[in-house]
Structure 1
């Protein structure tokens, strides 16, 4: 676990146990993979929602690094990137099903597909 992740976990108000290693506490906030940027998809946005409104709603939970609002099959969706996994997880859990500019929004994490590593043949 990186130092940045340890600092992230310590900044949360989690119960601390002297016999429990810090890596076990990460189960409270979910898996932390190097505190990489996390993508979030927000569906069922009203026509009044802009990128700035979406950024304001999610910035209460942590640093938002990218916001994009798109039309997709007569539905307006938002794509966000947040700096830390635990911030994104908290935002997803709390904002999902909440009203935003008149509509109840659906919030999902976007998991990127990893390409399988190519095996190198020995020469």
Structure 2
């Protein structure tokens, strides 16, 4: 079974780059430009994995992550935090909030694909 992946970033160029990196995976890809829209989409599609920017206006990535983890139907969602915040405390905050992995921008698309593959292989029924 292919996964549903939600890409959340306020920068269209980053969403495009993530989509480009993952488009050959066969997974269903969805996008949101902000946290509030991402939460609406997540509630509707129940994604398997979210590639999430940490710094966004309005609802930031950590707030969205907390919302996802607080909802029983979404608490299982895997989260790959993708951010320009490279400081150790930012990484720790994301992991403590429930992110599964942390990838710093700029990133190599191949590294993103590898992390997504590893994350999804750990989930039964997903490839």
For the criterion TM > 0.5, the same-fold answer is no
User: Could you tell me the TM-score, scaled by structure 2's length?
Assistant: 0.26
Higher strand share: 1
User: Could you tell me the TM-score, scaled by structure 1's length?
Assistant: 0.26
Higher helix share: 2
Greater radius of gyration (CA): 1
